[in-house]
Structure 1
Amino acid sequence: MNLLTSLRIALRELRGGVRKFRILVVCLALGVASVTAIGLVQSGIEQSLEEQGATILGGDIEMEFTYRYANPREKMWMEENASRISEIVEFRSLAVAKKDGVTERTLTQIKAVDNAYPLYGTLSLDGDITLEEAFKPVNGIPGAVMHKALVERLGLKAGSEFRLGFNTFMLNGIILQEPDETGGNFSLGPRTMVLLKDLENSGLIDEGTLFSSRYRMTIPENSDIDDLRTDAETTLGTTFSWRDKRNGAPGIQELVGRVGAFLTLVGLAGLVVGGIGISLTVSTYLETKTKVIATLKTLGADQLTIFFIYLFQVMVLIVIGIVFGLLIGILIPYLLESVLSEFLPVPFNFQIHLSDLLEASFYGLLIGLIFSIWSLAKSCDIKPGALYRDAVINPWKIRVMPYGIVLAGLITLFVASASIFSGIPRLTLYISGGIAGTLVVLGLIAQASKYLSFQLGHSKMVRGKISLGLALRSIGETGNGVISLTLALGLGLSVLASIGQISNNLLRNITGDIPEIAPSFFVIDIQNQDIEHLREMVLAFPSVSKMESAPMLRGIITEINGLPSREISGDHWVLEGDRGITYSSGLPENTVVTEGSWWEEDYDGTPLVSFSEEEGKELGLQLGDYITLNVLGRDIEAEIVNFRSVDFSTVGLGFILSMNPSALAGAPHTHIATIYADPESEEELFDSITSSYPSITVISVSEGIANVARIISGLGSAIIYASSITLLLGFVVLLGASASSVAARVYESAILKVIGATRRTLMLSLTLRSIILGLSASLVAFFAGITGGWAVMKYVLQASYMIEPISGLMIVLGGAFMSLVASLFYFSQPLNTKPSTILYNRD
């Protein structure tokens, strides 16, 4: 073997042009472009979150306290270490206003701020007024600002009055943009912003009500944030939640990372689809070089020399495809920067990151090699005589050594790299296994389709049906691109089918199943003296089937068996922030204890706790373990004496933690309740409760579900749009498959015209061929989508699954349509060919 000789011959052959490699270049370029664009957008968002961390958070440091204000000792620590401090209180309540003579009540997220807000950035208000001017009282009525959606819902305008709790406010401005909006918590309602001091006597932030207080600080430039956090935890304990500007929006950053990783995996699936086009292009090109290869072998060229002649040519085209893909991938986020900045709920700043370009190039190179090597081996590992006789190459008779080993190594490297770079190795392996399984099934279906089509095409069943018989016999021929077409179209449609099934099932679980068993309302901030009167009033409504209530506090699990909780159980969601806590002397109705036993009703000893079974086992807890809860700044160590089954899917009352009453004696708290009523009476019930108890917050479950459904629907649509690259690549491969079979179709048409076939017969034959191939690939994609959707819903999301027939039908029809459209590009040559010309020039 002489590599220099191989390279010299390869470059000489490339001088003849690269037009025959167009499909290869396009497939690789589109695949690399999708991975590049996704990587750059993700990196742009992450970098913006990092650079604007202080603005997004609202300060260099934030200390958050649950349902209490910072105590004097905690405030003293802040004053000693911060340059400036801003105090913010957030909670949910109802905004009440008159609209066309009718009282409107709408859920709103209230943000009560002080005069120092905002420490970073600027709050943008409609009308170009300052926040100070907007808060200025008019005729003794304090001012407020709202988001536009809430203003429209309540029918307000500048100067209109509305009520929060017992206090009246005047709308003086509409919020256009908050500098710290991204860093806030999830909100079920639009924002209302007021001055904190103006909420006094409103009844909304009394002892035991559900609110969070946040203290945002700027610190001197030479301050070390890690040292400050350590000092705060040492001095004050772990009675607060800490965030700083290095990760101003941890939830958003995690979501961006996970969605970006998933979309990258979808992009890699698109690359695999493009790889099928690469394999088809290489095979088609090498078929035109059979006599050249035979001549080289006759002249003494060994197998590896010939292999590298064409490998070098393919490598040059792979590099060209990667370069084009990188350029397109850079242009997409660059041209759409302004659109993305408006569309995304997070800041986006476009910059070119070398790591993203290298990652996309690496994936492109691996896919190019993986799908080229076997095609090269097929043509180079046969005898010269077979090449001169135009023999059909059987890919299964190729020597496994060394091609198979190299191919297996490249595939392993590809999957391992994707697992490492994505950061979600388990999901990557699942998706890789799904892609491999789908390709195997599609390959088997393609072979079965060819066999059945050949048998049916020569059977008595199609006698007299000339066009159908021609179509079936054409599919059954050897080496006609059917396998490549089925693999590309089927895999592309499988990706979209799976995402469609998952998205639709998520929405069905939220909007379909839950409302049937969910309560009508959640009622929070019910004072102890009001709970029984409220129950009597609610149950007096004939349409109310039941009302459930429980005392409620919130606390943070800080320690497990005397050690920091995160050291024992990691970053479990139960340890993220505060969790709901209730208490009960006796075993509550419908409570199922799965392990251990409930305490006696008159128990008055050391604190005991009942833990939700599933979450407790995930944390590694056992009976007899001790957990430390920080409730309103007070540490309570309690022994786990039982585990109980808690079903959160019903959206009813469910608590991770339930304690004996004496453990929480003296702790100020309120009650939470769920009300089940007929839908037609919900509005009347809502008005009755909110008018009788202005400080109580009533949350409509149906509205909350609708909000969540909108978010999931939007996210699902974005993922589907991004995943459509797989379908585009599948279409390109279809064009390549159609182009590769043009010569065969032209010769076939010439023969058929000689024996009397009409143009209509040929047209119908070609149409039926395309539809049959498209339907066979689409049906596999339909079942692959069902399988993938079921697996994700059952094992990843642990939710119920139901086949979505409409989504599946669209996939099947779409596949047939795409196959037909791709074939239409090349219908004209077989239909317009002159038999005499074709047959005269045929060797």
Structure 2
Amino acid sequence: MAGDDRFSGRGVRLNLPLRLALRELRGGLTGLRLLAVCLILGVAALAGVGSLASAINAGLAERGQLLLGGDVEARLSSRFASGDERARFDREGVVSNVVRLRAMAGTADGADRLLAEVKAVDARWPLYGNFRRVDGPSCRAGCIAPGTAVVAPALAERLGLKTGDTLMIGEARLRVAGVVAEEPDAAGEGFGFGPGVLMARDDVEATGLLQPGAQFRSLYRIKLPPRADAVAVAKRLEAEAPDAGFQFRDSSNGAPSTRRFVDRLGQFLTLVGLTALVVAGVGVAGGVSAYLGAKTRTIATLKTLGADTATIRAIYLWQIGLVALGAVAIGLAIGAATPWIVARLAAASLPVPPVLTPQWGALATAAAYGVLIALAFALWPLAQAARMPAARLFRSLTERRDRPTPGMIAAIVGAGLAIVGITVANATDRLFVLGFVGAALALIGLLWALAGLVRWTAARVPRPRGTLARLALGNLHRPGAPTRQLIVALGLGLTLFATLAVIETNFTGQISRTLPDKAPTFFVIDIPNDGRAGFEAMVAQQAPGAAMTVVPSLRGPVTAVNGVPASQIDAGPDAWILRGDRGLSYAADFPPNNELVSGTWWPRDYAGPPLISIDDDAARALGLKIGDSITVSVLGVELTAKIASTRKIDWQSLGFNFAILFAPGSLEAAPHGWMATLAVTPAQERGIQSALAAQFPTASVVRVKDVLGQVAELLGQLSAAIRAAAGVTVAAGIAVLIGALAAGARARTYDSVLLKLLGATRGQVARATLAEYGLLALVVSGLALLLGAGAGWYVITQVFKLEWQPEWGPVVATVLTGGLVTVLLGLAGSWRALSARPNAVLRDL
């Protein structure tokens, strides 16, 4: 039969394995269910995260005009466009001017005041989309009448406002004309410190908020003629006024900060999902090993009848491939439905409604990951089973498996490299992704080595006196023991969960403990330049002994670095100092909560050419050194200064920290205001707020506790998203545990039967199993806690630059819960073996 062409004939080799594979699959997928479950979990996680991020970005792109409020936007800080500048905008199309600033909004009697984000719009607003009040019709132009204001629902609720009431904005009295129901460009304006107020552009001067040095943004939005190229128009306008301090955006990227946030969160969650898929890959290996272990007699029979290694490999590769493709398809279907599900359940948490059409790019990437993971992890056990001779297959319970051929190992390595290549190619921050991949590979290698050490140690330590203890120890290193699979898979899952628990508890600790202890009570913004002395006197009268810091305040964008326009510099995601306006100030003394890194601080009486001190992280992101120059636009005037020093800034001190500080003599003559921090007792808060409202109605007061509450809410949403993605990893780890148990089920059943024949009771065997899995859980949990703490420390202290303050209770509870699940599932998986009847098992030998 060795030469029978039914198995070895070249003409039928391509179709005979497929026919045999399909015939065997008719009996059901019992042995390959684990492979399917693991792949569905991993692919669904990746496809879901990728589809949601892609769908949100597609929504941002599709609604670019709505989010931006026009086809092109020109943004200025603390000044308005000149007549010539406005004429250039008018030449391109219809122009709408919007002014954005922060101000205190209050009731007519002044009893209640609240920081609000004020948007003053002209009669042409909105250029795109519709504005609508609650219980009112949609509006396309002239939506806000002079002398009126439309308030956000949160402001109406907190101040108890209703239509017809009077609202105070600075020195202006406005009639409340309704509550906002739909604001077309709201999602493109980013994070705000308070609820919004819409008022007419003509009423802004009456508020008294636009005094010299006040901080506001003037936005000129242009609606272009049909078929005009918004990108080209924005570039042309920028080229016509390179030194005017304008920041131009076009509708192709109407909400850049939102897009960056979605991209970064999506990338992080994709890496978490990829970790889940790698963990699932270990389950794939376990499932394939268990399936082929149950097929050893079939394989041995086929080999006895003349089937060669290639035919055997092809038969089961067809089976595994068909099941894997079906699992990938199911995972992709779940991932494709994720944007629709999230849009239905959590629409309010999304920046824009996601596009609900399939995101083919994200789905194709997830499918490639799933196929490559299945290939990388299934080939090893398949090659081992296919190479073994028939005689050894009949003794498979006691035989060690051969290593795959070099060609098969090369295919496995190639699949792994392809996974890394796809990950890096799709990354927005490739260094971060390479670091993550390197750390994941190092972790897998460490867990693999630890598993080998556990087996080696278990085989060589002195044997305990107790029979059950010896049995539990022997089960860790016997042939076919699932020790390595369990340690690698559960180690990955629990380490990831421990890391996330450490990060989350640190964030919580920063908000709830450290920051409130350091934080001032109020930030006061836009104190008039000539009102500083009066402000300090008022504070001294209302809150004697209050801690107060007053600093000069200006704003302006960085327009050039070493003479190169900022728009032409692509320094990656860390070049945040080039994006948007920067807070600017000047100081004679070295600021508190800062540390000098390089260069020297100027003398207090410095009177030379302009010098600056810059944040050290920002300098390193741009490759800057002492002596390099930075150009900043201040009220339309370009000011170039040389870098005299770099500083490490403690941003969590919640004081006034400026990434760019000028030396004395550079900015004093420019119109500017002042900012202050106040730390007062709870009993002094209301008196300070009332006095500020009466004496400085144009100043804005930020209550720090309110800001921290918003930050805590945002962190809570991020934590929920991360926990959901990490939960898939843990679910995959549980599936791997089940697979490892399934892979060793036959051997464990025979062990149980032999022990029963030798006089052991079911309870004794169960206690031995409990000891085995308890020891494994202890090892894995301890290592996960150690590695998770190390990874969490790096993220908190090196990435987020926060203090190391984890809460060990939740972290330890997370890890111990994972260990307990390991033990319980181990006992549940062994119950069938414990219940096996000796006569039935022995007849099957």
TM-score, with structure 2 as normaliser: 0.90
Letter in 2 for 1:190: P
- Distance between the aligned counterparts of 1:588 and 1:341, measured in 2? 44
Matching of residue 725 in structure 1 with residue 728 in structure 2: yes
Q: Does 1:67 align with 2:94?
A: no
CA pair 393-668 structure 1, distance change in 2 beyond 3 A: farther
Alpha-carbon distance, 1:770 to partner:
4.5
Contact 2:132 2:180 in 1 (8 A): yes
Q: Note the 1:248-647 alignment, pairs <5 A.
A: 248-297=254-303, 302-390=308-396, 392-394=398-400, 398=403, 401-450=406-455, 458-460=463-465, 462=466, 471-540=472-541, 544-567=545-568, 570=571, 572-584=575-587, 594-596=598-600, 598=602, 601=605, 603=607, 606-644=609-647, 646-647=649-650
- Secondary structure of the residue aligned to 1:271 is helix
Deviation per residue, 1:14-54 (Å, 9 max, x gap) = 41223211111121122112212222212211111111110
Take 2:838 and 2:392, find their aligned partners in 1: how far apart are those partners? 29
Which moves more between the two structures, 145-154 or 6-15? 6-15
2:571–2:621 Cα contact (<8 Å) kept: no
Shift of 1:417: 1.4
1:592 and 1:829 map into 2 onto residues whose CA distance is 64
Specify the SS of the correspondent of 1:664: coil
Partner of residue 105, structure 2: 95
8 Å CA contact retained: 1:147, 1:192 = yes
Shift in CA distance, 673/310, structure 1 to aligned 2, threshold 3 Å: same
- Percentage identity across aligned positions? 32
How far 1:55 sits from its partner (Å)?
Answer: 0.8
Cα gap change, 1:264 to 1:115, in 2 (>3 Å): same
Of 18, 21, 24, the residue aligned with 1:16 is: 24
Cα deviation digits, residues 527-552 of structure 1 (max 9, x gap): 12211121133244666453221222
Identify the match of residue 656 of structure 1 among 659, 665, 668.
659
Is 1:148 the equivalent of 2:153? yes
Question: Does the 8 Å CA contact 1:281/1:736 hold for their aligned counterparts?
Answer: yes
Distance 1:617 1:488 in 2: 38
Structure 1 residue 33 and structure 2 residue 44: aligned?
yes
Q: CA 1:609 to 1:327, structure 2 compared with 1: closer, same or farther past 3 Å?
A: closer
* Corresponding residue to 1:794 among 793, 797, 813: 797
Shift, 1:751, TM fit: 4.2
CA distance in 2, matches of 1:674, 1:407: 60
* Counterpart in the other structure of 1:228: 233
Say if 1:333 and 1:749 are closer, same or farther in 2 by CA, change over 3 A. same
| Number of aligned positions between the proteins | 829
Unaligned residue ranges in structure 1 (runs of 5+): none
User: 1:515/1:611 Cα in 2 relative to 1: closer, same or farther (>3 Å)?
Assistant: same
The answer as to whether partners of 2:602 and 2:663 remain within 8 angstroms in 1 is no
Q: Deviations over 1:331-388 (max 9, x none)?
A: 3334444234343122212111332222112111110111012212322334444333
Counterpart position of 1:212 = 217
SS at match of 2:206: coil
Q: Secondary structure at the match of 2:13?
A: helix
In the alignment, is the contact (CA less than 8 A) between 2:290 and 2:739 conserved in 1? no
Contact map agreement 1:318 1:365 (CA 8 A) in 2:
yes
* Residues 525 and 671, structure 1, Cα contact 8 Å, conserved in 2: yes
Is 645-654 or 784-793 further displaced after alignment? 645-654
Q: CA deviation at 1:589?
A: 7.9
Partner of residue 115, structure 1: 123
One-letter identity of the residue aligned with 1:106:
L
CA distance 1:754–1:118, change in 2 (3 Å): same
SS at structure 2 position matched to 1:107: strand
- Offset at 1:646? 4.2
Offset at residue 254 of structure 1 (A): 1.3
Q: What secondary structure sits across from 1:237 in the alignment? A: coil
Q: Shift of the alpha carbon at 1:12?
A: 0.8
SS at match of 2:212: coil
Instruction: Give secondary structure in 2 for the equivalent of 1:269.
Output: helix
Which residue type is aligned with residue 122 of structure 1?
N
2: CA distance between counterparts of 1:779 and 1:592? 38
Distance 1:553 1:682, change over 3 A: same
Q: Secondary structure at the match of 1:598?
A: coil
Shift of 1:400: 5.8
* Separation in structure 1 between the aligned mates of residue 594 and residue 37 of structure 2, nearest angstrom: 61
Deviations 1:706-759 (Å, cap 9, x if unpaired)? 211211221121121122111122222222233334444444444444555555
In 2, the alpha carbon distance for the partners of 1:514 and 1:655 equals 19
CA distance in 1, matches of 2:689, 2:761: 74
Amino acid at match of 1:619: L
Contact 1:26 1:321 in 2 (8 A): yes
3-state SS, counterpart of residue 183 of structure 1: helix
Contact conserved, 2:117 with 2:195, CA < 8 A, in 1? yes
Distance in 1, Cα, partners of 2:154 & 2:429: 37
Assess, with a 3 A threshold, how the Cα gap between structure 1 residues 804 and 380 changes in structure 2: closer, same or farther: farther
Are residues 405 and 834 of structure 1, via their aligned partners in 2, closer, same or farther at CA, if it must alter by over 3 Å? closer
Q: Which stretch shifts more, 226-235 or 530-539?
A: 226-235
* CA-based RMSD: 3.1
The question of whether the paired residues in 2 share the 8 Å contact of 1:538 and 1:544 is answered with no
The answer for the alignment partner of 2:5 in structure 1 is none
Question: How big is the shift at 1:634?
Answer: 1.6
1:783 aligns with 2:789: no
C-alpha deviation, 1:224, in angstroms: 2.4
Which deviations, in whole Å up to 9, do the C-alpha atoms of 1:264-285 show, x marking residues without a partner? 2211111111111110111122
Mapped to 2, the partners of 1:178 and 1:221 lie a distance apart of: 24
Query: Is contact 1:582–1:659 with CA below 8 Å preserved after alignment?
Result: yes
Aligned to 1:200: 205
Q: Is the 8 A contact 2:21 2:315 kept in 1?
A: no
Deviates more, 1:801-810 or 1:17-26: 801-810
Preserved CA contact (<8 Å) 1:39 1:356:
yes
Choose the corresponding residue for 2:841, options 826, 835, 838: 838
Cα 1:607–1:837 change in 2 (3 A) is closer
The 8 Å contact of residues 28 and 278 in structure 1, kept in 2 or not, is answered as: yes
Q: Could you tell me how far apart the structure 2 residues matched to 1:74 and 1:456 are?
A: 83
Aligned to 2:671: 668
Q: Does the aligned pair in 2 maintain the 1:27–1:274 contact within 8 Å?
A: yes
Letter of the 1:268 partner, please give it.
L
* Alpha-carbon distance, 1:304 to partner: 4.1
- 1: distance between equivalents of 2:389 and 2:594? 77
Aligned mates of 2:593, 2:443 — CA distance in 1: 45
Rounded to whole Å, the distance in 2 between the matches of 1:424 and 1:684 is 49
Q: 1:311 to 1:204 in 2, by over 3 A?
A: same
Bigger shift: 736-745 or 104-113?
736-745
